[in-house]
Structure 1
Amino acid sequence: MNVFDLFVNKYPPGNDLRKPTAETLEQFQGKLPAELLDFWQEYGFGNYGGGLLKIIDPTDYIDTLTLWLGEQEDCFPILMTGFGTLFIYRKRSETAGDMCLLDIHYRRSGSFSTGFSDFFERILPAENFAEQFLRVDLFQEASAKHGSLAENEIFFFAPALAFGGAESIQYVEKGNAVVHQHLLFEMGTDNSSAAKPDDMWSQAYEANPHVFELENGGLMVSFPFSETVDTILPIAPETLYEVEGETVSLWALTFVSLTKEENLGFLEYHRALQRLQPYILETRGDYLLIRGMSLAEMECVLSDAID
């Protein structure tokens, strides 16, 4: 099976894709996986899945990567969501590399702790990936309101999320991807410094809380913890977050499998942190950095907790 078969099946290529030039192929020979260069030649740069994802020419977004993360040797943006999140191939050796992300809206970067082929064959086609990273429902609303995206366009929030916007259709606009990526960085320079490439925390995904109503009428606030993803979690979320005018009945951690395309289950938050002690890499202030776990490790944590 070809590395990209599941990706193309789930996110069909658009009709106006742009093929790479000979110069572009030569520039990335030996820097990116040969399978990706072959894919460029067979399909091309542009929208896939109606623009939910874009295969991009790294040269168009290298400046964005450098602006946000500083000089990144052997790191190349190769994929972008319809909302401007970049997925980056990081070459670790002559024969190995992994995949990372840069989320411009929440000013965070992270590593999937998985290789190129595994990412395209297993992680990217998973439904949980789409739910967590692609904003599928909002994308469809935005497309209906603003029209389809050109190759160099994304949807974004106005005002930005950090300045009062929200992930709701009334705040969504459409525009040039690079312009908005650079604008968001400049808007946040007074509040957030660029991530350091050698800092584990700068390469981790910071989980955000999701609120659910329980059958008894109470509220559950849950943080997602995804398979293979290095994740930053608060030590005591109840002291950092609140739901205005509401009482939270349950704080929880939900274990998400990108392999099985399902939620494996959830644990009460502090019980979950106790079970995750062996996987904690570092503590800073009110937060923990937990390394990406395999499916087997996550299932073991849940099983032991039940026992």
Structure 2
Amino acid sequence: MKVFDPFVSKYPPDNNLRKPTAETLEQFQGKVPAELLNFWQEYGFGNYGEGLLKIIDPTDYIDMLTLWLGEQEGCLPILMTGFGTLFIYRKLSDTADDMCLLDIHNRRSGSFSTSFSDFFERIIPAENFAAQFLRVGLFQEAFAKHGGLSENEIFFFAPALAFGGTESIQYIEKGNAVVHQHLLFEMGVDHSDDTEADDMWSQAYEANPHVFELDNGGLMVSFTLSETVDTILPLAPETMYEIEGETISLWALTFVSLTKDENLGFLEYRKALKQLQPYIVEARGDHILVRGLSLAEMEHILTEQ
């Protein structure tokens, strides 16, 4: 049995996989197992099992891995789930290796304490692997709602799990994997450490950026203001958040109704802040605190052009 036979049987390859270049194969010669190089040549990079798992080119994600974990000698990302969790090949010596993971949503990493071959032959085909790491049911719902994933796309949670989101279909969006992985890392900064327990700031929701690709290929970064929720917003998000190598075409604020359970619409960010002036409770440093707005107040702001 070949190392990848159980993987391919469990997660069939898509028809539009991308084959590695000769330069890529030469670059990773001796750095990853020969079986993986052969697999790249025979099948290619892209979606397997309709995107539940992706065989990835390490060069596309090595900078992201370094951002999250620092320099890791002998570590290369080779596999990714449809929700952006990275699986990392780690060469321990000339005769030993193992597999690790980086879970971007729960901000954790760890080792499977098993070899590369054992991981693909025994761990991945197991049903409990799919249940624990792939969110199969949620993936299928997201696939039905948002369509399939391209090679560089993942499903993600908006808001992020670490900032109030939940693992349910209404909070799932689709977008560029590297862009979202970068944003989740940047969103790990807590701006409310100095607040007291009974302080209104400590009880407020801190809005975080969500990235969307526009029809013209540009990127929109949006923050969310939810009905009745006291919210902390950045005064100048363009100075606080950036995506290396990417240009942000539009900064926006999205208004969400909890009673209607829908997005009411969005405004360009600077215009939104101007409209929100009567509802700002206080400014602290680079942030403002906006009191919770009623549905009527939100609808008034959106219609006040």
Q: Structure 2 CA distance, aligned partners of 1:154 and 1:46?
A: 12
SS at structure 2 position matched to 1:113: coil
SS at structure 2 position matched to 1:173: strand
1:247 maps to which residue? none
Q: Name the structure, 1 or 2, with higher relative contact order (CA <8 Å, separation 6+).
A: 1
1:17 maps to which residue? 17
SS at structure 1 position matched to 2:100: strand
- Report the alpha carbon displacement of residue 110 of structure 1 after superposing the two structures with TM: 0.7
Query: Equivalences for 1:149-228 in 2 at 5 Å?
Result: 149-190=149-190
Alpha-carbon displacement from aligned partner over 1:261-292 (angstroms, at most 9, x marks no partner) = xxxxxxxxxxxxxxxxxxxxxxxxxxxxxxxx
Query: Equivalences for 1:81-96 in 2 at 5 Å?
Result: 81-96=81-96
2:251 maps to which residue? none
1:137 maps to which residue? 137
Letter in 2 for 1:6: P
1:47 maps to which residue? 47
SS at structure 1 position matched to 2:137: helix
Alpha-carbon displacement from aligned partner over 1:189-247 (angstroms, at most 9, x marks no partner) = 348xxxxxxxxxxxxxxxxxxxxxxxxxxxxxxxxxxxxxxxxxxxxxxxxxxxxxxxx
What RMSD, in angstroms, separates the aligned Cα atoms of the two structures?
Answer: 0.8
Letter in 2 for 1:91: K
Number of aligned residue pairs: 191
Q: Structure 1 CA distance, aligned partners of 2:189 and 2:66?
A: 14
1:68 maps to which residue? 68
Q: Structure 2 CA distance, aligned partners of 1:38 and 1:165?
A: 40
1:114 maps to which residue? 114
Letter in 2 for 1:173: E
- Report the alpha carbon displacement of residue 187 of structure 1 after superposing the two structures with TM: 0.3
SS at structure 2 position matched to 1:29: coil
Structure 1: any 5+ residue segments left out of the alignment? 192-307
SS at structure 2 position matched to 1:188: coil
Runs of 4+ in 1 over 4 A off after TM superposition: none
SS at structure 1 position matched to 2:112: strand
Given the alignment of the two structures, is residue 29 of structure 1 paired with residue 29 of structure 2, yes or no? yes
Letter in 1 for 2:36: L
Q: Structure 2 CA distance, aligned partners of 1:139 and 1:115?
A: 27
Q: Structure 1 CA distance, aligned partners of 2:190 and 2:2?
A: 45
Of structures 1 and 2, the larger Rg is shown by 2
Letter in 1 for 2:171: Y
2:100 maps to which residue? 100
Structure 2: any 5+ residue segments left out of the alignment? 192-305
SS at structure 1 position matched to 2:84: coil
- Report the alpha carbon displacement of residue 95 of structure 1 after superposing the two structures with TM: 1.9
Quote the sequence identity (%): 86
Q: Structure 2 CA distance, aligned partners of 1:31 and 1:96?
A: 12
SS at structure 1 position matched to 2:17: coil
Normalized against structure 2, the TM-score is what? 0.62
Q: Structure 2 CA distance, aligned partners of 1:139 and 1:67?
A: 26
- Report the alpha carbon displacement of residue 96 of structure 1 after superposing the two structures with TM: 1.5
Letter in 2 for 1:69: L
Q: Structure 2 CA distance, aligned partners of 1:38 and 1:172?
A: 35
Q: Structure 2 CA distance, aligned partners of 1:42 and 1:187?
A: 39
Query: Equivalences for 1:247-266 in 2 at 5 Å?
Result: none
Normalized against structure 1, the TM-score is what? 0.62
